[in-house]
C-alpha cells in the first residue's frame, strides 16, 4: 500500500463485500434519521399520517427482501423516537 493511504480500521475487519453492505445500510439509516429530524420533502401526509415515499423503496433495492423485517423494526423505532404518526401505516405495534 502506498505511503499515506490507509484503509479505515473497520474495512480491515470485514471482507470487502461485507464492508460495502455495512456502509450502504449505515447510509440508508442516516438518510432515515435526516428525514425524521427535519421537515424533509421525502415525507408526505397520507391517511392522517406521514408516509415515506422514497426511502422505503431505496432501502429494499439495496438491502433486499431478507432484511425487510429489520428495516421495518428500525422504521418503527424511529417513529417512536420522533413521535410521528407512522406506526399505524406500517403495521408497527
Give residues with Cβ within 8 angstroms of 44, minimum separation 6. 50, 51, 53
Count: domains in the chain: 1
Residue 7 inside a domain? The answer is no
Q: What is the Cα–Cα distance from 32 to 78, expressed in whole angstroms? A: 8
Is there a contact between 74 and 28 (Cβ–Cβ < 8 Å)? no
- pTM for the full predicted model: 0.22
- Within 10 angstroms of residue 71's Cβ, the number of other Cβ atoms is 18
**Domain containing residue 72:** 12-90
pLDDT tens, N- to C-terminus, the chain (93 residues):
444 544 444 444 444 444 455 555 556 566 555 555 544 444 444 444 444 444 444 444 444 444 555 555 555 555 545 444 444 444 444
On whether residue 72 sits in a domain, the answer given is: yes
Secondary structure letter of residue 67 according to DSSP: G
Amino acid at each position: 500500500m502506498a505511503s499515506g493511504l490507509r484503509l479505515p480500521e473497520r474495512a480491515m475487519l470485514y471482507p470487502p463485500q461485507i464492508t460495502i453492505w455495512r456502509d450502504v445500510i449505515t447510509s440508508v439509516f442516516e438518510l432515515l434519521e435526516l428525514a425524521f429530524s427535519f421537515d424533509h420533502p421525502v415525507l408526505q401526509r397520507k391517511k392522517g399520517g406521514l408516509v415515506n415515499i422514497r426511502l422505503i423503496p431505496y432501502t429494499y433495492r439495496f438491502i433486499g427482501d431478507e432484511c425487510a423485517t429489520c428495516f421495518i423494526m428500525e422504521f418503527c423505532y424511529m417513529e417512536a423516537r420522533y413521535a410521528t404518526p407512522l406506526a399505524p401505516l406500517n403495521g408497527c405495534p
